[in-house]
Amino acid sequence: MSLPVSDVNKQPDYRTTMELGAVLPKTAEVKDDHLYIGGVDMVELAKQEGTALYVFDEADLTDRMEQYVSNFHAMYPNSDVAYASKAFINKEIYRIAKAQGMYLDVSGGGELAYAQAVDFPMEHIVVHGNNKTPRELEEAISAGVGHIIVDSRIELGRISEIAGRLGKTQDILMRITPGVEADTHEFIRTGCEDSKFGFTVKDDFAFKCVKDVMAAPNVNLVGFHCHIGSQIFALHSFREAVKVMIEFVARVQKEYGLTVSQLDLGGGLGIAYTAEDEPSTIAEFAEMTTSAVKDFCAEYGIELPHLMVEPGRSIVANAGVTLYTVGILKTLPGIRNIVAIDGGMSDNIRTALYHADYEPVVANKAGQKRDRIVTLVGKHCESGDAVACDRPIQTPEIGDIVCVFCTGAYCYTMASTYNGQPRPAIVFVKDGVARTVTRRETYADLMVRDI
């Protein structure tokens, strides 16, 4: 794997940091040419804590949680919002989600263990995954989780057997693949027909399976779930999915007499990764989904179900940034300018994996215009190891602190220790105070499981 070919004619955008629009975390400001987030000087923080460093604007992510909960409750009182922890997980984000009255979407036993560690109410947990192991299912059922999303017939048998053995009846939702092509990168699209997730509506497969799910002992089918993909800009995709789902629910109620009390629409709202991106707001997403549910329930003559959504990225992505120190500068004449930082694909695999775009700035020159085009490469033994390709930045020098915006989602949770790189610490900043909520991994941590 190598870097995408650089456009040598690309011109810088000459924007200063504060001109990066929706990319910036809520409390970003520039004072004396330094970038501040949560009232904390990012340059000083990088020096104190070392780099690479994940920093989260606590006010930003709390505000987004509040916006989700308040908009959904206002527009559709019988609803709840589950934070999709795969986007970013540590104990502190779970504590904050709990304090905000959110539910949690957990994928598997590890995420459930975090929830147990912070005494998250188990009835507010939704368990996902296309191949939850029997052990994970047993952990979830014995913990008393609210709902398990059943993804296949084989899994149905397992849940039923385990619940019976534990003397329980487990509430479940069936994951339906509604065949909607969402407007997003093909790798993170999940609702279309060629998908490993859920029961497809194609050839009436899902509809026929509902009968088996209803007949299975020790489980109680309370509703249906879908998730059409992630980083979705076109809100109409959600309306299309809702139509398929409500049509399905109406048919199931009519033909099988099943009372469907729950509808879970998954996550997927897109966010701004670049200054040019203009994503929909949380309120617009809430308006689109809740009005679609109301409209189609009216059209098909069914009662409004309890509604759930599972946002991940749109809660944490913009709140998070990554700080790095510039170590090496290289000019490849006629090819590109390389700026090597002290992290890379180990703390952010998204650029290598999806050719994701990010906005970088030099945090100690934050008030200056971005007058260079560079490729920010990492320190790993892999030619495709880059965090930002062909992006504008203030003229970088050795020792400068680079801040890459919008790294709050799917960076830490997809991080690795490739080349023996310890994973960065995570610092939450708020009201001028920085607190480390996950300490930096040490060399000893890397070896702690070895004999």
Q: Is residue 63 within 8 Å of 71, Cβ to Cβ?
A: no
For residues 171 and 175, give the distance between their C-alpha atoms in angstroms, rounded to a whole number: 13
For residues 319 and 24, give the distance between their C-alpha atoms in angstroms, rounded to a whole number: 8
Residues numbered 324 to 383 that lie near ligand LLP (CB under 6 A) are 350
Query: Which is closer to ligand LLP, CB of 35 or CB of 182?
Result: 182
Which of 314, 318, 322, 394 contacts ligand LLP by CB under 6 A? 314
Distance of CA 72 to the CA centre of its chain: 19
Closest residue to ligand LLP, judged by C-beta, is 267
Of these residues, 226, 381, 403, 411, which one is catalytic?
381
Binding to ligand LLP by residue 311, rule CB under 6 A?
yes
Paired residues of 433 in beta bridges: 430
Which of 98, 124, 147, 227 contacts ligand LLP by CB under 6 A? 227
Q: Which amino acid is at 84?
A: A
For residues 359 and 356, give the distance between their C-alpha atoms in angstroms, rounded to a whole number: 10
The one segment of 241-249, 312-320, 322-330, 365-373 that binds ligand LLP by CB under 6 A:
312-320
Rounded to a whole number of angstroms, the minimum distance from the CB of residue 282 to ligand LLP is 11
Q: Is residue 391 within 8 Å of 374, Cβ to Cβ?
A: yes
Q: Which amino acid is at 154?
A: I
For residues 74 and 54, give the distance between their C-alpha atoms in angstroms, rounded to a whole number: 34
Paired residues of 199 in beta bridges: 176
406 is catalytic: no
Nearest one of 296, 263, 283, 297 to 79, comparing CA atoms: 263
For residues 198 and 153, give the distance between their C-alpha atoms in angstroms, rounded to a whole number: 10
Distance of CA 169 to the CA centre of its chain: 31
Paired residues of 375 in beta bridges: 338
Which of 38, 108, 312, 392 contacts ligand LLP by CB under 6 A? 312
The one segment of 165-173, 248-256, 305-313, 390-398 that binds ligand LLP by CB under 6 A:
305-313
For residues 340 and 378, give the distance between their C-alpha atoms in angstroms, rounded to a whole number: 6
The one segment of 17-25, 162-170, 265-273, 277-285 that binds ligand LLP by CB under 6 A:
265-273
Rounded to a whole number of angstroms, the minimum distance from the CB of residue 28 to ligand LLP is 22
Query: Which is closer to ligand LLP, CB of 106 or CB of 162?
Result: 106
Rounded to a whole number of angstroms, the minimum distance from the CB of residue 388 to ligand LLP is 15
Rounded to a whole number of angstroms, the minimum distance from the CB of residue 132 to ligand LLP is 12
Query: What are the tokens at 406?
Result: 């919008």
Residue 440 makes CB contacts below 8 A (sequence gap 6+) with 49, 50, 422, 423, 424, 425
Query: Which is closer to ligand LLP, CB of 98 or CB of 350?
Result: 350
In our burial notation (b when 16+ CB lie closer than 10 A, e otherwise), range 93-123 reads bbebbbebebbbbbbbbebbebbeeeebebe
Which of 41, 60, 80, 105 contacts ligand LLP by CB under 6 A? 105
Binding to ligand LLP by residue 310, rule CB under 6 A?
yes
Q: Which amino acid is at 287?
A: E
Residues numbered 1 to 60 that lie near ligand LLP (CB under 6 A) are none
Rounded to a whole number of angstroms, the minimum distance from the CB of residue 218 to ligand LLP is 24
Binding to ligand LLP by residue 410, rule CB under 6 A?
yes
Paired residues of 57 in beta bridges: 429
Rounded to a whole number of angstroms, the minimum distance from the CB of residue 9 to ligand LLP is 29
Count interface residues toward ligand LLP (CB under 6 A): 20
Rounded to a whole number of angstroms, the minimum distance from the CB of residue 309 to ligand LLP is 8
Query: What are the tokens at 67?
Result: 């916006």
The one segment of 66-74, 157-165, 215-223, 261-269 that binds ligand LLP by CB under 6 A:
261-269
Distance of CA 137 to the CA centre of its chain: 23
Which of 230, 322, 325, 394 contacts ligand LLP by CB under 6 A? 230
Active-site residue numbers? 381
Residue ranges that bind ligand LLP, judged by CB under 6 A: 84, 86-87, 105, 128, 188, 227, 230-231, 266-269, 310-314, 350, 410
